[in-house]
Structure 1
Amino acid sequence: MDKPKRRIALGCEGSANKLGIGVIAHDAETGSPSVLSNVRHTFVSPPGTGFLPKDTARHHRAFFVRVAQRAIADAGISVADVDCICYTKGPGMGGPLTSVAVAARTLALLWDKPLVGVNHCVGHIEMGRAITGADNPVVLYVSGGNTQVIAYAEQRYRIFGETLDIAVGNCLDRFARTLRISNDPAPGYNIEQLAKQSDGRVLLDIPFAVKGMDCSFSGILARVDDLALQMEAGRTTPEGDPITPADLCFSLQETVYAMLVEITERAMAHVGSSQVLIVGGVGSNERLQEMMGAMARERGGSVYATDERFCIDNGIMIAHAGLLAYETGYQTPLEESTCTQRFRTDDVLVKWRG
């Protein structure tokens, strides 16, 4: 009997407000990945509000079947072609994680396929490495729920620095609520577009909260919320200029991204790397990529990033990381196919890397 020319995984992601299901194939000889489908459906809450776990979980339950059917159809495969079902084990929001874990377990039972639980953060990293070709970079992982500076060593993704409170994406999202900015397609994206409308002359006084290799964003959020109140009251900058939403968004972005560049550069110096890979939803921000690129070039290095298809939560990153683990012999027994809101990046044995 001929050996299969490729292995195929279906990946299910639903740790936050994006339900993503995708199909990826690995060449059986070279291991090179091919994206066969990448389908996503986002729960969008009204302006000025966030997405509650119960509402997000209800959304994922309502759309899972049709998103899965489309992912299979777009990939041009049959159920028989699938080698394993991969799902996000954590970290993330409890309700949405549980909804997708139950659905993935159901598919594994219905189709009699092995199940593989995947760390969400490792999914981002491996997808970024596969798409960009970055060899052994320092990774800046920035999203709505996570902010970490990571480097690989001895079959673990080691965390060199992280947020001490809220994630940078959560800071941006919550400030978008203060300004009642639309959540469609994403609050952070809309903050970025507003920031581009600023002429850059007004850089408001915002705390620069770097503490060693770690960052803090809760105090920054409190400060920009206060500045938004001052704007509504008609107050001006010390130079007499009116404060605008564009100035607020510009100042917030410049401050938090400068913080991230600083701790990333420090990690690069520590491990002797000339590469930076930016992953996670905030990683699609053009200004962050620009600032990180300037720093990397000064060090004789380069920055790697992907567009929103791969940066923002998706099913193929779970399929890819899950298939890498599956190819080393790893499977998740049905009785252990749980999920958890807390799953550290450095808890994962990265057996597929030397």
Structure 2
Amino acid sequence: MGISPNRLRRRIALGCEGSANKLGIGVIAHEDGGEAVVLSNVRHTFVSPPGTGFLPKDTARHHRAFFVRVAKQALADARVSVADVDCVCYTRGPGMGGPLSSVAIAARTLALLWGKELVGVNHCVGHIEMGRAITGAENPVVLYVSGGNTQVIAYAEQRYRIFGEALDIAVGNCLDRFARTLEISNDPAPGYNIEQLAKKGGRVLLDLPYTVKGMDCSFSGILARADELAALMKAGGVGPDGEPITAADLCFSLQETIFAMLVEITERAMAHVGSKQALIVGGVGCNERLQEMMGGMAAERGGSVYATDERFCIDNGIMIAHAGLLAYETGFRTPLEDSTCTQRFRTDEVFVKWRR
């Protein structure tokens, strides 16, 4: 993907994302030849103090406060006018109720003010389509890992079919909550700071529950045990090698265990559908260790792994614009009276009319 200002644009969409603590607004163009061109991708993150998470009401207040300035910046960066925009796309779900509602109302307001049609988008499908567009992966098995979702997905018969998922908390939520236990910074993101601490570990792999049930994973037991070990560390406890447990040891052990579980279920899905491509999407997909472990597995199968950087794997408006525009081009519209949002919107509920 790149900017091609001299090519004739076919359609332009503005996408609004706000399902969690990141408010993102982006503008995308689909050229006549089918190429998707990113024109702007602006994001503003609500960061809570160390040791805390972000509450829906506080996050919603953040999104309301920053929506106008982020939207203006997105249009300015894209160098397009309101007249150039064909549709306004917004995240319909899944996500946190308060933030979702704030952005849905703002997107509806833009559509009414500008006289544009509205397109509600499934957040998960947005991640998948953005990943496919950026990496060029043709028909991969998708590992979708974020703060609110953990799914292994493959496409079949115009649906994204869920092969496995988290039975309790999402992998990103597990990492975020452990960051609270350690009281490390949430800036730029708790998972990122755990990753940096993990890079300093590797001295010892602490024993944590490894819970894979068929194609599904469970992370709550791992988190509970990691919390116990963190309390032991604070009390001066030692690891199996007799050395004091460190925060780096805990982060390293947590990452290695949960990522091994994710690699296992992804490999099993690849074997089942006969695919040699794996695509990692979602905020946790930025993690270099996860990409490395997935890459090793894919290489052993004679395949390859695809992933994006933080611009596109972390929640962003451009992925909503892209998925929304794909649907818009097939005739899909969201009437104003149906322009609601929902915290529960399954990936496989979406009819993927733009794929054959």
Report deviation, 1:32. 1.0
2:43 to 37, 40, 45: 40
Residue 159 (structure 2) pairs with residue 156 (structure 1): yes
Report deviation, 1:6. 1.8
Paired with 2:322 and 2:335, the residues of 1 have a C-alpha distance of 19
Paired with 2:240 and 2:279, the residues of 1 have a C-alpha distance of 38
Report deviation, 1:235. 1.0
2:118 to 104, 112, 115: 115
Paired with 2:288 and 2:242, the residues of 1 have a C-alpha distance of 30
CA distances 1:184-203 after superposition (whole Å, capped 9, x unpaired) = 000000000000011x1300
Give the secondary-structure state (helix, strand or coil) at the position aligned to 1:15.
Answer: coil
2:318 to 295, 316, 319: 316
Paired with 2:240 and 2:205, the residues of 1 have a C-alpha distance of 11
Give the secondary-structure state (helix, strand or coil) at the position aligned to 1:20.
Answer: strand
Paired with 1:228 and 1:201, the residues of 2 have a C-alpha distance of 16
2:248 to 237, 246, 262: 246
Paired with 1:143 and 1:154, the residues of 2 have a C-alpha distance of 25
1:84 to 84, 87, 108: 87
Structure 2 partner of 1:331: 333
Paired with 2:80 and 2:212, the residues of 1 have a C-alpha distance of 48
1:53 to 56, 59, 63: 56
RMSD of aligned C-alpha atoms?
Answer: 0.6
Report deviation, 1:324. 0.1
Superposed, 1:257-336 pairs within 5 Å as 257-336=259-338
Superposed, 1:107-146 pairs within 5 Å as 107-146=110-149
Superposed, 1:197-212 pairs within 5 Å as 197-198=200-201, 200-212=202-214
Letter in 2 for 1:236: V
Report deviation, 1:99. 0.1
Residue 189 (structure 2) pairs with residue 186 (structure 1): yes
Superposed, 1:8-19 pairs within 5 Å as 8-19=12-23
Give the secondary-structure state (helix, strand or coil) at the position aligned to 2:43.
Answer: strand
Paired with 2:256 and 2:9, the residues of 1 have a C-alpha distance of 48
Give the secondary-structure state (helix, strand or coil) at the position aligned to 2:42.
Answer: strand
Report deviation, 1:94. 0.0
Structure 1 partner of 2:346: 344
Report deviation, 1:110. 0.2
Give the secondary-structure state (helix, strand or coil) at the position aligned to 2:62.
Answer: helix
Paired with 2:239 and 2:293, the residues of 1 have a C-alpha distance of 25
Give the secondary-structure state (helix, strand or coil) at the position aligned to 1:69.
Answer: helix
Moved more, 162-171 or 232-241: 232-241
Give the secondary-structure state (helix, strand or coil) at the position aligned to 1:102.
Answer: helix
Report deviation, 1:234. 0.6
Give the secondary-structure state (helix, strand or coil) at the position aligned to 1:86.
Answer: strand
1:7 to 8, 11, 19: 11
CA distances 1:136-181 after superposition (whole Å, capped 9, x unpaired) = 0000000000000000000000000000000000000000000001
CA distances 1:296-342 after superposition (whole Å, capped 9, x unpaired) = 00000000000000000000000000000000000000000000000
Report deviation, 1:289. 0.0
Report deviation, 1:240. 0.6
Letter in 2 for 1:287: R
Q: Are the counterparts in 1 of residues 60 and 99 from structure 2 also a CA contact under 8 Å?
A: yes
Residue 38 (structure 2) pairs with residue 27 (structure 1): no
Structure 1 partner of 2:4: none
Letter in 1 for 2:324: G
Superposed, 1:219-238 pairs within 5 Å as 219-238=221-240
Letter in 2 for 1:293: G
CA distances 1:46-105 after superposition (whole Å, capped 9, x unpaired) = 000000000000000000000000000000000000000000000000000000000000
Give the secondary-structure state (helix, strand or coil) at the position aligned to 2:203.
Answer: coil
Q: Are the counterparts in 1 of residues 204 and 241 from structure 2 also a CA contact under 8 Å?
A: no
Report deviation, 1:239. 2.1
Give the secondary-structure state (helix, strand or coil) at the position aligned to 2:279.
Answer: strand
CA distances 1:256-289 after superposition (whole Å, capped 9, x unpaired) = 0000000000000000000000000000000000
Paired with 2:266 and 2:95, the residues of 1 have a C-alpha distance of 24
Paired with 1:10 and 1:179, the residues of 2 have a C-alpha distance of 39
Paired with 1:269 and 1:69, the residues of 2 have a C-alpha distance of 46
Letter in 2 for 1:113: K
Q: Are the counterparts in 1 of residues 23 and 43 from structure 2 also a CA contact under 8 Å?
A: yes
CA distances 1:195-249 after superposition (whole Å, capped 9, x unpaired) = 0011x13000000010000000001000000000000111111321110000000
Letter in 1 for 2:117: P
Q: Which runs of 4+ in 1 moved over 2 A?
A: none
- Between the aligned residues of both structures, percent identity stands at 85
Structure 2 partner of 1:165: 168
